[in-house]
Structures are given as structure tokens and as C-alpha cells.
Amino acid sequence: MYAHHDSNIRKTWFLMAVFFVVVIAIGWGFSYFYADPSILYVFVAVSIFMNVLSYWQSDKIVLSMYKAQPVTHESNPALWNIVENLAITAGLPMPKLYIIPESQPNAFATGRNKDHAAVAVTQGLLGILDKNELEGVIAHELSHIGNLDTLVSTVVVVLVGFVTLISDFFLRSRGLGMRSNNDRGGNIQGIFFIVGIVLAILSPIIAVLIQLAISRKREFLADASGALLTRYPAGLASALEKISQYGTMPMQRASNATAHLFIANPFGSTSKKLKGLFMTHPPTEKRVAALREMGK
Amino acid sequence: MYILLIIIVAVVVWLVWAYNNFIRKVNRSKEALADIDVQLKRRYDLIPNLINTVKGYAAHESGTLEKVVQARASAMQATAPAEKAEAEKTLASSLKSVFAISEAYPDLKANQNFLALQAELSDTENKIQAARRFYNANVRDLNTAVGSFPGNFIAKQFKFTQMDLFDLEANDVARQNVEVKF
């Protein structure tokens, strides 16, 4: 119940440190190239700012990205009671509760610790699941909160999102450079050089960051401890089956930076694109099989 | 010489770790017990309202109501988990009989206040079960640590003892929701 805190806190520190070093290294490269140390200061400031932002604010950023609406006891007492009772069983304070106006059935948990946790479910999920299945899904999400998986996976959203943004920016600035910097021919070559390095560094790093944060074992673990909370693994098993059956369409706001947060792949269960390196979830059949095995 | 030193240091480190581990587990269990009390208190607070509401409609069922009042009082006095669990079992079954007699009074069954209390009590019952399971999970952890080798020597030395499970399961009445089917 309390086992995975430390390793997740270590992972978060590690992620933040790597991010810090990478951004500053890029800044150093730039300031070296332009012989202007102020660029480095800007990068240091940005890097610190993004780390602070990712720790304190990323849960709110994720929730607003998906236009999540807060739920109160009055507005949805049935859902509220399910979450409240399971939170008591797990020994967690009641998390904030949100509904995402999307028709794809899905759910995620976020927050930097158990006192600042939030659980969000889509409208589509509430539509297709019965009470036992919904309890299974909520218990899975609460296990992520209890294990502190939410800290790593939410911090990663902002950091990875930012790295993606920088790499986009460099790609564009190369384009601009070719058009406007004809009088400074030397610069173009330099920019090409930096872009080459940046892209070479960034793409594997993004992959590694995501991989680190979302080790797929985590999902099996949350399935198992979720089943321990409800004492009814079949509920989550049939919920997962329903989700993969109904959830073949991608969510409107699905994105690479947030895919790993969800209980099921937000790009849709039939999507082939994410197979391989970027596959953030173990195949549903395997999870269902593991849960059914537990129920025997 | 060095080997001896290393062994002594290792043993001391292990002792400190094991001691702190026991402290942590005991504290968690106590905390979880307090969580159950929060829910039980909620039920104690709801019961006087229920009694008053039922009295207005079913005055001559005072015998049943009296039992609830007594069960509540003795449950509130109990302190040890096992004793408390026993008292709560009695309280839950006496509540059940109140909801059973309400069947005979259509006016009572239609009373909004009564229905709200009924829903509230059934929800509290679920929450008691939830808190109880969290407590039992923690106590089971503690008891395993206290009972298993080699921690049991330390437990004995520093007087860490096994704690009682909060068990409502022997009596099946308490496991059912205090909910009446119409």
C-alpha cells in the first residue's frame, strides 16, 4: 500500500535533473555559438521555471487541457460516493473529482501527492460502465495516487511537452533562418549544425523520458492493487474489455505528452501508430487475463 | 577485527531499521482505527434523528427503539477493537429491525426526512466497511511483522504486540446494507 513512494520520488528528481541539464546544455550551445552569455541566463531561468511549473501546476495544466469539469457531491452523488468509499478503503483523502466531456471511455489520475490528487473520468466512461466496473476503474486510479505514480507521470507531461515545443521551435527557426538571414551566411550553417545536434539529442531523450515514467509494469501493478481494494477483479476486467471495445475512436484532445496518464490508450485501441517504442499501455488482453487469473 | 566491527554495525543498523518499521506500522494501524471511529461517530450522530423521526409515526414500537438507543450507548463506550466490533454488530442489527418495522407504517416510509436518513445510514454503513478494510489491511501487515522471524525477537524486546482485527464478518447481519427493499 505504501511501497512505491520512494522509487517514484527518486524518478521525479531524476527527470527534473535531466531536464535541467538538457535545457541548460542547449542554452550553453547557443550562447557559445552567438558569443552572448545572456542567452544562457535565459535558458537557466526558463529551465528552473519549467521545473517549478511542472511540480506545482502540471495537474491543473493537464486538467484544463482536457476541459475537465469539477464534480461535487450534489452534482453526481453516485460517482462521488464510489470514489469516497474507495478512497477510505485505500486510506487516501478524498481526491478532487472531474468529468471530461469526451465520448471515448477513459480515465486518469493526477496530482503531486495524495493531498493534491485528482481523478478524472470521461462522460463516455460513465455512460457504458455499471457500478462494479466503474468501481474497478476508480480503484485502479486511486492505486496510482497511492503509489505516487501520478507525480512522475504528471511532471513528465510538462517536461516532455516543453522539450517537444523546443524541438518544434528549432525546426521552424531553421526555416526562418533560410529565408531572412541571407546576409549572414555563416549563421545558417551554424544553425543547421545546432539543429542537427538538438534533434539528434532530443528525440531519443524524449523517448527515454516517456519510457522511464511510464514503465508498463505500473499499469499491471495498479490493476492488481485496485483489485485488492474492490475485492472484485472481474469488475475492472470487464471494464477494460468494454473500454477497448467502445474506445476505438481517438479522443479529440489526445496527445503524445499525456497518453501515458490514461487507463486506456487515448489514441484509440485500434491505433497502430503507437506500437513499439511509444506504446504506453500493455495490451488490454494481457491485463484482462491477469485480472481474471486473480479472480480464480 | 574489522569483520567483527562490520557485523556489529550491520546488526545495529538492522535493529534501528526494524524498530522504526514497527513504530511506523503501529502508527498506521492506530491512524486507521481513528478513521473507523470517524465513520462510527457519523452513525452515532445520525441515530438520534432517526429515533425522533420514527417515534413520531410509530410510538408504540418503543421497545425496538429502546434497543437501538442502548446498543448505541454501549457501542460508544467500547474501546478495544474487538469489543467495539461486537457492539457495532449489535447496533447494526438493531438498526435493521427499525427499518423492518418501518415497513408497517406507510406514512413513515413516505417521510422525506426518514428516507434521507435511511440513505445516509446506508452510505455510512458502506464507509464503515471501507474504513474497516483499510484498518484490517494495516493490522495484518503489523501482525505479520510482529509474528515472523527474526523481527519477533525485537517485537518481544520492545513490547510490540499484535493488534486485533476489526471483524464484522462473523455476524452476517452487519455485512448487509441497512437498506430496505420496497
Between A209 and B14, residue with greater pLDDT: B14
- The distance of B3 to chain A (nearest Cα, Å) reads 31
The mean per-residue pLDDT over the stretch B165-172 comes to: 66
Contact, A222 vs A144, CB < 8 A? Answer: yes
Contact, A154 vs A62, CB < 8 A? Answer: yes
Catalytic site includes residue A141: yes
Q: Above 90 in pLDDT, residue A141?
A: yes
Residue A90 touches chain B, beta carbons under 8 Å: yes
| pLDDT tens string B86-100 | 889 889 889 988 888
Which residues on chain B are in Cβ contact (under 8 Å) with A1? Answer: 137-138, 141
Percentage of chain B modeled with pLDDT above 90 = 31
Among A133, A141, A219, A241, which one carries the catalytic annotation?
A: A141
Q: B137–A81: do the CB atoms touch at under 8 Å? A: no
Predicted-assembly ipTM surpassing the 0.85 threshold:
no
| pLDDT tens string B12-38 | 999 999 999 999 999 999 989 988 999
Q: Above 90 in pLDDT, residue A208?
A: no
pLDDT band at A180 (very low <50, low <70, confident <90, very high): very low
Q: Above 50 in pLDDT, residue A179?
A: no
Nearest-by-Cβ selection for A91 from B123, B129, B134: B134
Q: A91–B133: do the CB atoms touch at under 8 Å? A: no
Q: A88–B134: do the CB atoms touch at under 8 Å? A: yes
Percentage of chain B modeled with pLDDT above 70 = 92
Residue B61 touches chain A, beta carbons under 8 Å: no
Q: A88–B137: do the CB atoms touch at under 8 Å? A: no
- The distance of A116 to chain B (nearest Cα, Å) reads 19
Which residues on chain A are in Cβ contact (under 8 Å) with B141? Answer: 1
Residue A199 touches chain B, beta carbons under 8 Å: no
Q: A89–B35: do the CB atoms touch at under 8 Å? A: no
Residue B47 touches chain A, beta carbons under 8 Å: no
Residue B123 touches chain A, beta carbons under 8 Å: yes
**In chain B, residues 1-30 whose CB comes closer than 8 Å to chain A:** 28
Between A195 and A7, residue with greater pLDDT: A7
Determine the Cα–Cα distance for residues A221 and A7; give it in Å rounded to an integer. 14
| pLDDT tens string A61-104 | 889 888 999 999 989 989 999 999 999 999 899 999 999 998 88
The verdict on whether omega for the bond into residue A204 sits within 30 degrees of 0, i.e. cis, is no
- The distance of B84 to chain A (nearest Cα, Å) reads 19
Burial of A255 (0-12, 13-18, 19+ CB in 10 A): middle
Number of CB atoms found within 10 A of residue A193's CB = 12
pLDDT band at A172 (very low <50, low <70, confident <90, very high): low
Q: What is the pLDDT of residue A61?
A: 87
Which residues on chain A are in Cβ contact (under 8 Å) with B28? Answer: 2
Residue A81 touches chain B, beta carbons under 8 Å: yes
pLDDT band at A187 (very low <50, low <70, confident <90, very high): low
Average pLDDT along chain A? 79
Residue A3 touches chain B, beta carbons under 8 Å: no
Q: Above 80 in pLDDT, residue B112?
A: yes
Q: What is the DSSP string of chain B?
A: -HHHHHHHHHHHHHHHHHHHHHHHHHHHHHHHHHHHHHHHHHHHHHHHHHHHHHHHH-GGGHHHHHHHHHHHHHHHH--SHHHHHHHHHHHHHHHHHHHHHGGG-HHHHH-HHHHHHHHHHHHHHHHHHHHHHHHHHHHHHHHHHHHSTTHHHHHHHTT----------SSHHHHS-S----
